[in-house]
Every structure is written in structure tokens, then in C-alpha cells.
Amino acid sequence: MRIISTELMPTSGSVFIDGTNVIKNPKDIRERIAVIPQEGRLVPWMTPLQNITAYLLWRGFGYREAVSRAKKALNEFKLEKYINKLPNKLSGGTKRKALVALAVSSEADIIFLDEPTTGLDPVSRKELWTVLNNLKKDHLIILTTHYLQEAEELSDKIAVIEGGKLIAFGTIEDLRKKIGYPYAIKVFSKDYKIKKIKGKLVKKDDGTMQIFSSEKEADRLASEFIKNRVKFSINPTSLEDIFYMLVGDINQEESNEKEQS
């Protein structure tokens, strides 16, 4: 994230945004992006309106336009009643919304959000998800997160990175196809014996079974369970399960390589 946003020079490799070399043309890139780092904070002695206005002045906007854009952004995020309150009077979720409003106010081509919901309570996190889901309709957003549910909820495309390496990229459907198990079947039975499974079986401590399978195998198993009156559920494989399968495969490969060497 810091390399793409021109904050850090890479030791090797290249980065391009719309054909522009980030390393060779950092000034051009900075004019097109807005960044909210994970440690981003509102200036404590300035109100949200003053924070955003100051940011826009720093980006080169005139004072009147900066104030107008700041008010517009705060209104879009339904923060009108907090416009003149100091940050210490705001909740964590409201402060995060104000920071996202700050990024949007410049109408940058690309908005980078580095773990924007870290430290928020579940209610504030869901509120910010709503904001970001609305925001992505008109903006290109690159978001990093350790919350897999968040990535699944918000993302049109997902990059899975492990150990500094990109191990998968695409839509959630692309990732399901990559692992080969697009469906997750949960079987609520301790005693039922499945004769044959074309998929991945995981037995849980609570006595249930989780089966990851292809669509064809999911249909076959569903018919079997219905016939034998076994309680079950079928859902698309979650990003969390996809992640564990992808990372597990990578770690297994690395372990095998070490053993061979």
C-alpha cells in the first residue's frame, strides 16, 4: 500500500497505475489518489469541517471551494451534526467516517483505505461498511483488511496475499473456482456415514461435518441427505474457508520443499 501510494520506494520491481509509472512519476500519481492510512487520525484541535478544509487547501484548492467541498462531503456521509465538534467528542466510527469523507472530498480517481475498520466495535464496523458499499458505486477503492468477512462483503475483486506474495486474485467466484470447491455443505449428524465423497471433508468438534465440493457433487449429496432425512445446509464457500485452503496449500508446498532439500 505504501509503495503504490508513493510513500515508500521499492527495493525492486515496478508499479503502474493506468500506465503511469508510480516510481518515476510520483507527483502525477499523488494528484490522482487519496490515502487514509491505518494510523490516520483527525487533527485533535480541529473540527471535521476544519480538518477536511485544511486537507483540501493543502491539495491546492482555493478557500471557498475547499469549504464547499468539505461541507458537501460531510453531508454525503450524514455527518452534518458533527461538523463543528472536536474529535474527542466523536465516536470511533464517526471519526473513521469523517476520514473517509476527507478522502472523498478531493474527488481523487483512486482512494486507498488501509484497514479502515481496525479497532471499531461491530456496530460501527457495519455502519462503515454501508458507507463504503455506497461509495464504491462511484469511486475506485483499494482497501486492505485482515477481516475476511469485510473483504467478502465489500470487494468486487479480492487479492489474497500470504508472506508478501500474491497467491490469488479475482472475484469471489473466481477464487471459488480456483480452489475447486465452490460449495460448502454442513451436515448436522454425528452418526450418519457418507459412503463416498468427491470433495474435502472436515469434521467439527460439535459433531457436525463440513464438506466442500463441486456443484455436481453438492447436488448428489443433497439428494442423498434428503432421501435419508439427514439435516444439512448448502452455501457458497466463504472467503474465510477459501483463504484457509489457499494458504494451507501454499504452506504445505513450502513444507514439502523444505523436507526435500
In the chain, the domains with their CATH numbers are: 32-156 (3.40.50.300), 174-260 (3.30.70)
| pLDDT of 117 higher than 90 | no
Beta-carbon neighbour count of residue 27 at 10 Å? 7
Q: What are phi and psi of 173, to 5 degrees?
A: -65, -40
Q: Look at residue 222 and tell me whether its pLDDT is greater than 50.
A: yes
Average pLDDT value for residue range 180-185: 92
For the cut 90, the answer to whether the pLDDT of residue 123 exceeds it is no
Of all residues in the chain, the percent with pLDDT exceeding 70 is 94
Q: Which helix (H) or strand (E) holds 34?
A: strand 33-36
Distance CA 76, CA 165 (A): 37
Whether residue 251 has pLDDT greater than 70: no
Which residue's C-alpha cell is 508513493? Answer: 6
What is the average per-residue pLDDT within 85-107?
89
Helix, strand, or coil (residue 183): strand
Determine if residue 115 is left, alpha or beta; phi over 0 gives left, psi from -120 to 50 gives alpha, anything else beta: left
* Packed helices 92-105 and 122-135: angle between N→C axes, nearest 10 degrees: 20
What per-residue confidence (pLDDT) applies to 48?
A: 94
CA distance 39 to 48: 17
Q: Which helix (H) or strand (E) holds 176?
A: helix 172-179
**Residue 249 pLDDT grade (very low, low, confident, very high; cuts 50, 70, 90):** low
pLDDT in tens, 18-47: 888 888 888 888 888 888 887 788 899 999
The predicted-structure confidence for 189-201, as pLDDT tens digits, reads as follows 877 777 787 878 7
On the question of pLDDT at 139 being above 80, the answer is: yes
Mean residue pLDDT of the chain comes to 86
> 9 pLDDT exceeds 90?
no
Per DSSP, what are the bridge partners of residue 114?
A: 144
User: What pLDDT is attached to residue 78?
Assistant: 86
Question: What pLDDT score was predicted for residue 156?
Answer: 93
Maximum pairwise Cα distance, the chain:
73
pLDDT higher than 50, residue 255:
no
Instruction: Give the pLDDT confidence score for residue 26 in this predicted structure.
Output: 86
pLDDT given for residue 13 in this prediction: 82
The pLDDT score that the predictor gives to residue 15 is 87
Measured between alpha carbons, how far is 74 from 261 in angstroms, rounded to an integer? 58
Give residue 161's identity as a one-letter amino acid code. I
